[in-house]
Amino acid sequence: MTPANRRIALAARPRGLPVPSDFALVAEPVPVPGAGQFLVAHEVLGLAPAARLRMSDEAGSYAAPLQIGDTVYGQAVGRVVASRHPDFREGEWVMTMAGGWQDYSVTDGTKVWKIDPALAPPAVWLGALGVSGMTAWIGLREIGRPRAGETVVVSAASGAVGSCAAQFAQAWECRVIGIAGGTDKCRYAVDSLGLAACVDYRAPDFAEQLRAACPQGVDVYFENVGGAVRETVWPLLNQGGRVVVCGLISEYNRQGAPEPGPAWSDVLAKRLCVQGFILSDRVHRQAEFVAEAGELYRRGRLRFREDASFGLEQAPAAFIAMLQGRNLGKSVVHLTEPRKT
Amino acid sequence: MTPANRRIALAARPRGLPVPSDFALVAEPVPVPGAGQFLVAHEVLGLAPAARLRMSDEAGSYAAPLQIGDTVYGQAVGRVVASRHPDFREGEWVMTMAGGWQDYSVTDGTKVWKIDPALAPPAVWLGALGVSGMTAWIGLREIGRPRAGETVVVSAASGAVGSCAAQFAQAWECRVIGIAGGTDKCRYAVDSLGLAACVDYRAPDFAEQLRAACPQGVDVYFENVGGAVRETVWPLLNQGGRVVVCGLISEYNRQGAPEPGPAWSDVLAKRLCVQGFILSDRVHRQAEFVAEAGELYRRGRLRFREDASFGLEQAPAAFIAMLQGRNLGKSVVHLTEPRKT
């Protein structure tokens, strides 16, 4: 009997925050790799806010929108179980950026990384040593370029990307201030990640707390959130400040006119650099990233926390919770027995 | 009898567009250089929109605001007439960035360039080979970074900075599209500067004309203007586009809330780089700039047009005309007999 490939398909385009009925669980035969392809059996899926962007069909997204019925986009870690590709052998562990929310995927190796489960458990390759960590690293290395002693503010600081950005900046000897929602996340950022401070954006005196935490102003703002959080950081930016536009989670569910950007007069007057980026343009630096991040991970200076769900059918609920900020750490879905991470 | 130093002082802070009564002509004794200083007798003054920024006392400008009674800020070219500085001798020609609207200035040599009147007449050292040209060159070299074949759009393309930006981009084999106000300026940009096209932003079908002139989209936007012109360019920006925020002349007279910036979702989705800069941070590259720009000037590939007034007392009127866009080329004020440029 042929095993089934279960997958989560987009059933309807969400309006605002997705709801469970926007998704459908579908079972189909497991695909068969063609020449130059291989089949990956997924073990863990990574959920990322950017998947929300592909669920809309608005122009201007950086990714082609999903069609109704398509498998939801996402990263997966798994093992090669059948291969007609010369560079990938059965049994090898990989992270595939476009694996999708499903049990199996076929790929020609594009945007697939081999991973080393001896260095870190599979889920870590979806987070600190995967797309989340590399997104943080590219944004800081290429745009933020923080120098030792500078003040770096990271929004969504307890999240998958933010926690890595904060820890890289700390490894580079910056003063790192986090922003997160709620006392648990802030405590995690300070106690576990070792940030200089983490400010709760839900606090009534958020702006005052942030200003007090940044007495030298802000040299780099790593933007994961957008909206009101950005407005609060903006006046604190120093001359020559860099704004790494990595994500805008507060705006992904937005409908109607786009959020207006920074005052242009500030861009000129403060010589700001405001720059967006997308990891998929920069994957050629993956080996360099893993060398640095892997060493930090090994030394305990790149901590990773997963917010785990179990079972493919839990992916939509976990995704919705993540968009609401109810996760702590990288949202992942284990498809097989949970592994110790 | 001691000769007088006549200077134009700020008499009142302009509200919106300056008016003549915001300025006062004052006569005082010529200052005497102290140890390590020298005295420059100005021959030509350069007028620049950025001077308007210093006339306001709002926070957020990149320069300290003038106080009432201060000499209006501006560049000047002249000769050293008395020196107690080891590196500057009497008779040498210089461009002094902070000379101001006056007959003489004393300086310690900070932001003073020696100029070569054999290469180009004095006024050119206020324009194509001076602050205007170097502003264009830094903005393109460091932020725009256009590659051969890319489309570069320059607003205020017939102006002092814009005309240089357009010509540098052409020398680097880009396709350059200008934006200017009125048919005379557009014709000058095409016929004299050799741009591929120049679109009149006052035309009722400006947006359609601009789109038609940029069939490959826009890779670099050199922003001198702000406001509605920027809004029209914005949707044409390509993925990975760079926006050089050099000036925002349409906003300098603005009162009230600052102009909102670009949609953040575009910054992320198109991986845009939006960056402001100020020449005074980059003056260490002056020799490199003059080597390249001087060679282009010598070969007739960096054309310069001055919009000349004569007599210090004409500076306020010429400045107001420039802010209204009634100049064509670099606005300069000759304090002595006009020289052939």
Widest Cα–Cα separation across chain A? 68
Among A260, A258, A261, A254, residue whose Cα is nearest residue A275: A261
Q: What is the predicted pLDDT for the residue at A304?
A: 92
Q: Which of A12-16, A333-337, B233-237, B304-308 has the lowest mean pLDDT?
A: A333-337
CB proximity A268 to B under 8 Å: yes
Tell me the domain boundaries of chain B.
4-127+304-334, 131-280
Q: Which of A279-288, A298-307, B120-129 has the lowest mean pLDDT?
A: A279-288
User: Which amino acid would we find at residue A154?
Assistant: V
Residues A166-189: b if buried by 16+ CB within 10 A, e if exposed: bbbbbbbebbbbbbbbbeebbebb
Quote the CA–CA distance of B51 and B39 in Å, as a whole number: 23
Q: Is B247 on the interface with A (CB under 8 A)?
A: yes
A16: pLDDT strictly greater than 70: yes
How do strand A93-96 and strand A75-83 relate by DSSP bridges?
antiparallel
**Mean pLDDT (whole number) for A86-111:** 96
Residue A276 and residue B271: Cβ atoms within 8 Å? Answer: yes
Greater confidence (B198 vs B253) lies with B198
Distance CA B111, CA B40 (A): 13
Q: How confident is the model at residue B340 (pLDDT cuts 50, 70, 90)?
A: very low
Q: For chain A, give the percent of residues with pLDDT over 90.
A: 79
- Residues of A in Cβ contact (< 8 Å) with B271: 62, 275-278, 281
pLDDT the model gives residue B50: 84
Cα A105 from Cα A98, distance rounded (Å): 9
Q: Is the dihedral of CA B316, B186, A269, B111 positive or negative?
A: negative
φ, ψ (nearest 5 deg) of residue A104: -140, 155
Give pLDDT, residue A258: 65
Q: Per the structure block, which two tokens stand in for B334?
A: 């000759």
Nearest CA in chain A to B239: A62
B4 touches chain A (CB under 8 A): no
Distances (CA, A) of A312 to A5, A224, B230: 11, 26, 46
Rounded to the nearest angstrom, the gap between the alpha carbon of residue A251 and the centroid of all alpha carbons in its chain is 15
Judge whether A272 is closer than 8 Å to chain B, CB to CB. yes
* Residue B258, pLDDT score: 65
Contact A231/B at CB under 8 A? no
Tokens, residue B105: 């200035």
Largest CA distance in chain B: 68
Query: Of A245, A267, A277, which is closest to B264 when you measure between CB atoms?
Result: A245
Stretch among A204-208, A211-215, B60-64, B106-110 having the lowest mean pLDDT: B60-64
For all residues of chain A together, what is the average pLDDT? 92
Q: How many CB atoms lie within 10 A of CB B84?
A: 15
Q: Does A226 touch chain B (CB under 8 A)?
A: yes
Which tokens is B192 given? 């004299």
Neighbours of B46 (CB within 10 A): 26
* Cβ pairs A/B, distance under 8 A: 122
Q: Which two tokens stand for residue A262?
A: 């920074």
pLDDT, tens digit (0-9, with 9 covering 90-100), for A204-263: 999 999 999 999 999 999 999 888 899 899 999 999 999 999 987 766 666 666 666 667
What percent of chain A has pLDDT above 70? 92
- Which CATH code fits A4-126+304-334? 3.90.180.10
Q: How confident is the model at residue A182 (pLDDT cuts 50, 70, 90)?
A: very high
Residue B208: helix, strand or coil by DSSP?
helix
Burial A253-290 (b: 16+ CB within 10 A, else e): beeeebbebbbbbbbbbbbbbbbbbbbeebbeebeebb
The yes-or-no verdict on residue A267 having pLDDT over 60 is: yes
Question: Å from B158 to nearest chain A CA?
Answer: 21
Give the pLDDT of residue B266: 86
Statement: residue A338 has pLDDT above 70 = no
Q: Which of B61, B261, B281 sits opposite A264 (nearest CB)?
A: B261
Mutation test of the interface with chain B: which of A255, A265, A266, A271, choosing the one with the most B Cβ atoms within 10 A? A265
What is the rounded CA–CA span in Å between residue B56 and residue B270? 35
Q: Do A267 and B251 touch (CB under 8 A)?
A: no
CATH number for the region B4-127+304-334 comes to: 3.90.180.10
Residue A18: both structure tokens together: 């997705």
Q: What is the DSSP string of B262-319?
A: --HHHHHHTT-EEEE--GGG-GGGHHHHHHHHHHHHHTT-S---EEEEESGGGHHHHH
One-letter amino acid at B170 equals Q
Give the chain A residue nearest B249 (alpha carbons). Answer: A265
Domain B131-280 indexed as CATH 1.10.10.410: no
Q: Which of A78-87, A176-185, B225-234, B251-260 has the lowest mean pLDDT?
A: B251-260
Q: Which two tokens stand for residue B115?
A: 């100029």
Closest CA in chain A for residue B224: A268
Q: Is B237 on the interface with A (CB under 8 A)?
A: no
Q: How many residues does chain A have?
A: 341
Cβ of residue B59 closer than 8 Å to a chain A Cβ: no
Closest Cβ–Cβ partner in B251, B263, B281 for A264: B251
Q: CB distance from A60 to chain B under 8 Å?
A: yes
pLDDT in tens, B206-253: 999 999 999 999 999 999 988 889 999 999 999 999 999 998 776 666
Q: Which of A91-95, A230-234, B58-62 has the weakest average pLDDT?
A: B58-62
Residue written as token pair 């569910």: A253
Q: Please check the confidence at residue B341 and state whether its pLDDT lies above 50.
A: no
The residue among A250, A138, A266 whose CA lies nearest residue B264 is A250
Instruction: Kindly give, in sequence order, each residue whose CB lies less than 8 Å from that of residue A295, ignoring residues fewer than 6 positions away.
Output: none
- pLDDT: which is higher, A266 or A205: A205
Q: How many CB atoms lie within 10 A of CB A338?
A: 11
Q: What is the mean pLDDT of residues B299-318?
A: 95
Question: What pLDDT shows up at residue A10?
Answer: 97
Tell me which chain B residues have a C-beta less than 8 angstroms from the C-beta of A248.
264-265, 268
SS (H, E, C) B116-184: CCCCCCHHHHHCCCCHHHHHHHHHHHHHHCCCCCCEEEEECCCCHHHHHHHHHHHHCCCEEEEEECCHH
Q: Looking at residue B261, what is its pLDDT?
A: 67
Q: Which of A260, A266, A281 sits opposite B60 (nearest CB)?
A: A266
3-class SS letters over chain A? CCCEEEEEEECCCCCCCCCHHHEEEEEEECCCCCCCCEEEEEEEEECCCHHHHHCCCCCCCCCCCCCCCCECCCEEEEEEEEECCCCCCCCCEEEECCCCCECEEEECCCCEEECCCCCCCHHHHHCCCCHHHHHHHHHHHHHHCCCCCCEEEEECCCCHHHHHHHHHHHHCCCEEEEEECCHHHHHHHHHHCCCCEEEECCCCCHHHHHHHHCCCCEEEEEECCCHHHHHHHHHHEEEEEEEEECCCHHHHCCCCCCCCECCHHHHHHCCCEEEECCHHHCHHHHHHHHHHHHHHHHCCCCCCCEEEEECHHHHHHHHHHHHCCCCCCEEEEECCCCCCC
What pLDDT is recorded for position A329?
A: 85
> Is residue A339 over pLDDT 50?
no
Which of B204, B198, B252 is CA-nearest to residue B225?
Answer: B252
Q: How many angstroms separate the CA of residue B89 from the nearest CA in chain A?
A: 36
On whether any CB of chain A is under 8 Å from the CB of B31, the answer is: no
Nearest chain A residue to B54 by CA distance is A269
**ipTM of this complex:** 0.80
Torsion of CA B53, B54, B58, B64, to 10 degrees: 130
The pLDDT of residue A256 is 65
3-state secondary structure of B57: coil
Cβ–Cβ below 8 Å for B261 and A262: yes
Q: Which of A53, A261, A272 sits opposite B263 (nearest CB)?
A: A261
Q: Is any Cβ of chain B less than 8 angstroms from the Cβ of A273?
A: yes
Tokens 């990595």: give the residue.
A246
Say whether A60 and B270 touch across the interface (CB within 8 A). yes
pLDDT one-digit tens code per residue, A17-65:
999 999 999 999 999 999 999 999 999 999 998 899 899 886 455 678 8
Contacts of A262 (CB under 8 A, 6+ apart): A234, A243, A272, A274, B261, B262
CB contact under 8 Å between B267 and A281, yes or no, is no
**Residues of B6-33 as b/e, b for ≥16 C-beta within 10 angstroms?**
bbbbbbeebeeebeeebbeeeeeebeeb
What CA–CA distance (Å, rounded) separates B240 from B92? 46
B103 band by pLDDT with thresholds 50, 70 and 90: very high
Helix (H, G, I), strand (E, B) or coil at B82: strand
Inter-chain CB proximity A270 and B281 less than 8 Å: no
Listing DSSP states for B26-53 in one string gives EEEEPP---TT-EEEEEEEEE--THHHH
Instruction: Note whether B274 and B243 are within 8 A (CB).
Output: yes
Q: How confident is the model at residue A341 (pLDDT cuts 50, 70, 90)?
A: very low
The pLDDT value recorded for residue B279 is 86
Categorise residue A121: left if φ over 0, alpha if ψ from -120 to 50, beta otherwise: beta
B326 touches chain A (CB under 8 A): no
Q: Which residues are CB-contacts of B285 (< 8 A; sequence separation ≥ 6)?
A: B134, B138
pLDDT higher than threshold 50 for residue B138: yes
